[in-house]
Amino acid sequence: MKYISTRGQAPALSFEDVVLTGLAPDGGLYLPETLPHFSKEEIASWAGLSYQELAFNVMKPFVAGAISDADFKAIIDKAYETFRHDAIAPMVQTAHNEWILELFQGPTLAFKDFALQFLGHLLDHLLKKRNQKVVVMGATSGDTGSAAIEGCRRCDNIDIFIMHPHNRVSDVQRRQMTSVLAPNVFNIALEGNFDDCQNMVKASFADQSFLPEGRQLVAVNSINWARIMAQIVYYFYAGLALGSPHRPMAFSVPTGNFGDIFAGYLAKKMGLPIDQLVIATNSNDILHRCISSNDHSKHQLQHTLSPSMDIMVSSNFERMLFDLYDRDGNAIRQLMEDFKSGSMTLKESALSRARELFTSYGVNDQVTIDVIRSVFENTGYLLDPHTAIGVEAARKTRRRHDIPMVCLATAHPAKFPEAVRKAGQEQDPALPHHMKDLFQREERYTVLPQELKKVQEFIAANVRK
Ligand SMILES: *Cc1c(COP(=O)(O)O)cnc(C)c1O
């Protein structure tokens, strides 16, 4: 399968090359040229498969020709063996026809493990086959960094450098990254904010001449296609568990960069009968404003109780726009050019198509706390703040009550004790067993000033020979 850029001016790439790159050279994001489509009979025949078996069936068409079946099975098995729950993505019922899909059973307690455990083993396989070494560089405001480090810590051919804003991530989040003492893992605490971190990563991808001879940077943020691909699987898994393909489904997704919900949209296009996709945002609501009133304008960043969704602009929305504009790369290039001024307006046909596919809703901190409290009082089930936003958005925008609404639980509540305490819990939620000693573990990180040259010198000096 070939992969093409949303801006139409970059060469098409193979699966291997698309996994080992970042943005396309024309500034776009890569997508498969065509999507596989599964018939109702085929999907029905997958009922009862394990998560890993289903993952193989759903993702196989995307990697066809690049990886043998046996190798691909082994990659998937290794990716999910670190999960604490046998079901990998178990479900809990919280109301009539309302379900929580627990995507936090991986090693770092957030749904990003689904994609990054997989990506780590996938990269390891591809790099060994090519006898190549790469440098992973990324910026994090919290969850991505720890999931990426957990995904890459055992990969011999990868050195990973993750930058976080010094003193601006939670203690749990920092310790999850800095207590990994593997020789190929480097944490940089940058004296700046998340945007400063991200700008350094962008500048480094644009000019990689600071790297030692023969090395290249690989992106592990959600612009990497393999991450999106791995996330399609759990939509099928939840659907099959609740009666699809014979029964339509609805999903509510706490959304930041639009990676997770875009995977849901792809699952629908691939044949899963999804009737409604809910875009749930916090007060950083550019996507909700875009869908509800065609207002896709940058507002100042707000710091909320759901920090993993604190973003001003959703990078993966460009992939959605590409389809809404009938895959016209020129139109997307123009739209992104317009957006440089801070705002863009969708054409009428694109907007109406988006409104058929998605409903949207924005939830502020106070309502987030109220939802955590009321769901706990009614069911005894403790939501994390991101998941609570998804639950509220589902309840407020639901179109049909006769079909299951699945709310994606993107993080474990122990990761966000502040919100949980505000919702009236007297004790912080307990960390799962494998993290009980997190606060006693030794940490290792390097504080660097906000100077591109210093950061790049640090990386060049620490890349292993
Ligand atoms: C990353 C993250 C999100 C947002 O996911 P996107 O794919 O960026 O939309 C939501 N919740 C949690 C807990 C996250 O870590």
Please write the tens of the pLDDT for every residue from 397-455. 999 999 999 999 999 999 999 999 999 999 989 999 989 999 999 999 999 999 999 99
Write the DSSP assignment of 64-81 as a string of letters. TTTS-HHHHHHHHHHHHT
The C-alpha atoms of residue 290 and residue 313 are separated, in whole angstroms, by: 11
CA of 215 to the centre of ligand 1 (A): 30
Is residue 128, in this structure, part of any structural domain at all?
Answer: no
Cα–Cα distance list, 55 to 32, 153, 325 (Å): 18, 23, 30
Reply yes or no on whether 112 is catalytic. yes
Q: Which of 40, 60, 73, 112 is catalytic?
A: 112
Q: Has residue 230 got a pLDDT over 90?
A: yes
Ligand 1 atom with the smallest distance to the CA of 147 is 15
Q: Which domain holds residue 281?
A: 87-107+225-422
Give pLDDT, residue 212: 95
Give pLDDT, residue 194: 85
Which residue owns the Cα nearest ligand 1 atom 2?
Answer: 308
Is residue 161, in this structure, part of any structural domain at all?
Answer: no
Residues 6+ apart with CB under 8 A from 434: 84, 107
pLDDT tens string 315-374: 999 999 999 999 999 999 999 999 999 999 999 999 999 999 999 999 999 999 999 999
Give pLDDT, residue 22: 85
The residues with which 32 forms a beta bridge, in sequence order, are: 3
Based on the structure, what is the number of domains in the chain? Answer: 1
**pLDDT band at 264, cuts 50/70/90?**
very high
Give pLDDT, residue 260: 98
Is residue 131, in this structure, part of any structural domain at all?
Answer: no
The H or E element spanning position 159 is: strand 158-165
Ligand 1 atom with the smallest distance to the CA of 143 is 15
Ligand 1 site residues (CB inside 6 A) read 110, 112, 143, 222, 254-260, 308-309, 386, 410-411
- CATH number, domain containing residue 254: 3.40.50.1100
**Residue range 4-11: average pLDDT?**
97
**Residue range 225-230: average pLDDT?**
97
Q: Has residue 142 got a pLDDT over 80?
A: no
Dihedral pair phi/psi, residue 58, rounded to 5°: -70, -40
CA of 465 to the centre of ligand 1 (A): 35
**Residue range 8-30: average pLDDT?**
94
Give pLDDT, residue 455: 97
Is the bond preceding residue 245 a cis peptide, omega within 30 degrees?
A: yes
CB 184 within 8 A of CB 160: yes
What is the average pLDDT score of the chain?
A: 96
The C-alpha atoms of residue 47 and residue 60 are separated, in whole angstroms, by: 17
Is residue 82, in this structure, part of any structural domain at all?
Answer: no
**pLDDT band at 109, cuts 50/70/90?**
very high
Q: Has residue 138 got a pLDDT over 90?
A: yes
The C-alpha atoms of residue 386 and residue 260 are separated, in whole angstroms, by: 13
Give pLDDT, residue 443: 97
**Residue range 242-246: average pLDDT?**
96
Give pLDDT, residue 165: 93
Is residue 333, in this structure, part of any structural domain at all?
Answer: yes
**Residue range 186-210: average pLDDT?**
93
CB 192 within 8 A of CB 199: no
Ligand 1 atom with the smallest distance to the CA of 222 is 7
Is residue 15, in this structure, part of any structural domain at all?
Answer: no
The C-alpha atoms of residue 163 and residue 203 are separated, in whole angstroms, by: 14
**pLDDT band at 396, cuts 50/70/90?**
very high
Give pLDDT, residue 279: 98
Ligand 1 atom with the smallest distance to the CA of 384 is 13
Q: SS3 of 21, please?
A: coil
CA of 462 to the centre of ligand 1 (A): 30
CA of 227 to the centre of ligand 1 (A): 12
Is residue 314, in this structure, part of any structural domain at all?
Answer: yes
Residues 6+ apart with CB under 8 A from 14: 2, 3, 66
pTM: 0.96
Is residue 239, in this structure, part of any structural domain at all?
Answer: yes
Residues 6+ apart with CB under 8 A from 10: 4, 24, 25, 26, 28
Give pLDDT, residue 287: 97
Give pLDDT, residue 169: 87
